[in-house]
Chains A and B, each alone.
Chain A
Amino acid sequence: MAKNFKIGEMFKSGIITNNPVLMQTLGICPTLATTSSVENGLGMGVSAMVVLIASNVVISLLRKVIPKKIRIAAYIVIIAGFVTMIDLILKAYGPSLSKSLGLFIPLIVVNCIILGRAEAFASKRTVGASFFDGLTMGLGFTFALFIIATVREIFGAGTFLGHEVFGSAFQPASIIGMAPGGFLVLGIIVAVIQLIQRKKKEKKEGNA
């Protein structure tokens, strides 16, 4: 898909078959850190997606200008620029979200999904393709965060988006909300998705 990329295919790849978190296990630090509540998970996902799209587009535009030797430094500067911009804008116009995400917004700079896509995709492809790559990978990241955060918030705190799900008799397992629980939930979700993928493959082979 060098030039005529297929958008539908890219969506499927970014969200399911090549999902950055669930399939490539990239960006695990922000994934575990922000998924203790659905609101934070979504905020992180969307912020990272915006940075990813913007950095992909700019890096793709500059791909012939940036010499190979200093590409990583150049990418980091560009990514850090966008992250700082998002940070300032959130502080000015979305102070409550900015507060709950806190340190994790500046940490998008070192999110390996963004650098990974810059290196593996945007530095070699056209601007349009890079834009869609950023969009689909960002959606995949947000989707993964949403699923993990949903499981963790429901079982770890007994709420969904802050609303109580079970009655007051429910005793939340607070370990799910902490880091070890994050690893457990992530592991189980990855395992379930692998199982589904394998079943699908087997079915396909069986039919053929």
Chain B
Amino acid sequence: MSQAVKTKKKNDSIAKLGIILFIITFCVALVLGFVNSITKDQIAYQAQLEIDNAIASIYPDSTETTELAVPADVDKKRISSVYAAYGADGELMGFAVASSPNGFGGAIDLMVGVLPDGTVKSVRVLSTNSETPGLGTRVTEEDFITQFDGNKAPIAVIKNAQPGPSEIRAISGATISSTAVTTGVNLAVEVAAQVAAQVN
């Protein structure tokens, strides 16, 4: 009998514990939902602002950008959006492709500027997310990222040697991140070529 009483008591307390924990979790979720609803628009605005700024810095003379449809056979996870930049007299200056290749610890978000002839104009790293600080995050550095400028795809990654045309030098200790960025750029050039066919 004492066993039965004991079990009952224990059950009671588990239910009670569950309810208390549920109430705490519920309150936290409520507050977070509230904070999310306040910050949601601002976060989306920041993300769009970042894209706009990246395009503007790739094509400083552009006066108008239009978002184009991403080709259907391209993985939306890898290429999230494509933009065309136009100059003052309406001529096509080039494309900006938001490319997110898989890096060392998740996606690296890039904005790749591709000229209508398929040459890489320049590349901006929007976010390195979970690359290793001090190693993978160095792909944002000028010395590395400007290597892409003026190259034609496919671009290859090399180590410990002077890079030739369509070659870039990997960051020592961050080969995976360097290769990832290059893969992202190559894919962006491909997509830009597909889109260019549509525009013309």
Residues of A within 8 A of B (CB): 33-34, 36, 40, 62, 65-67, 69-70, 73-74, 77-78, 80-81, 84-85, 88-89, 91-93, 95, 99, 102-103, 174, 177-178
Contacts and interface: CB of A to CB of B under 8 A. Distances in A.
Interface string B68-109: 000000000000000000000000000000000000010000
A95 B31 contact: no
Nearest to B21: A70
B20 A81 contact: no
B28 to A, nearest CB: 4
Given A33-B133, A36-B134, A73-B21, A84 B39 contact: no
Contact of A92 (B16, B24, B42, B105): B42
Interface residues of B, number: 25
B46 A91 contact: yes
Given A67-B20, A69-B17, A81-B32, A91 B133 contact: no
Best-buried of B28, B31, B42, B46 by chain A (most CB within 10 Å): B28
Interface string B8-33: 00000100110011001100100110
B134 A84 contact: no
Nearest to B18: A70
Given A67-B16, A70-B17, A88 B35 contact: yes
Contacts of A77: 21, 24-25, 28
Interface in B27-61: 28, 31-32, 35-36, 39, 42-43, 46, 50
Contact of A88 (B16, B24, B43): B43
Contacts of A102: 128-130, 133
16 contacts: A36-B134, A67-B16, A70-B17, A73-B21, A74-B21, A77-B21, A77-B25, A81-B31, A84-B35, A85-B31, A88-B35, A102-B128, A103-B105, A103-B129, A174-B134, A178-B135
Contacts of A84: 32, 35
Contacts of B31: 81, 85
B170 to A, nearest CB: 16
Contacts of A70: 17, 20-21
A30 to B, nearest CB: 11
A93 B17 CA distance: 38
A99 B137 CA distance: 11
A99 B124 CA distance: 14
B24 A93 contact: no
Contact of A93 (B13, B32, B42): B42
Contacts of B194: none
A83 to B, nearest CB: 10
A73 B13 CA distance: 16
Contacts of A34: 133
B21 A88 contact: no
B127 interface: yes
Contacts of A40: 133
Nearest to A65: B20
A92 B45 CA distance: 8
B39 A81 contact: no
A174 B173 CA distance: 11
A67 B128 contact: no
Nearest to A78: B28
